[in-house]
Structure 1
């Protein structure tokens, strides 16, 4: 009788929940900032406005990646008292951020229809 090999089952879920991430990226120095800010209030670590809370654990942060500043919109999670970035999110370059801002009125109108 032939042997049946077990294949690794792939998940059909599109969810990228933060706490279940096995290989979450290492936390940056800015990831240690508190997520208890009110909406539209920058988090202050004495070095200026670099983080804003959208809702709950969803935040907008300015990060630097390979020497380029990025706008990082991401869902964070708390583990062992530390706020860590999850997989769910997007990083936009300065030009992508400016294009997004340019179309915000159109997006808002489409939402209201």
Structure 2
């Protein structure tokens, strides 16, 4: 058995995510969305050597939780000012799903529990 650490980026830290995500007319949920352009990612003062157009979990307006459904692991290459390079694994979300069983509807982290 092997223990690993990985980066996870489920939803960007926007003040009002509902204005960013376009929910189709007649629907109550937009499970996944992408930002309009690729961006570099930052971790501990270092940035990725290339830009990425990430897929994020969206929102539901009907008290369901939107959580990752499918993901894969990718390796990101980071460059640090005056300190060189390093690699780190990241969970790359490929799809999300809106579900009714939620501990705290509207909170994307409600399903994460301390073990």
Give the TM-score normalised by the residue count of structure 2: 0.27
Q: Which has the larger radius of gyration?
A: 1
**Richer in helix (by share):** 1
Give the TM-score normalised by the residue count of structure 1: 0.27
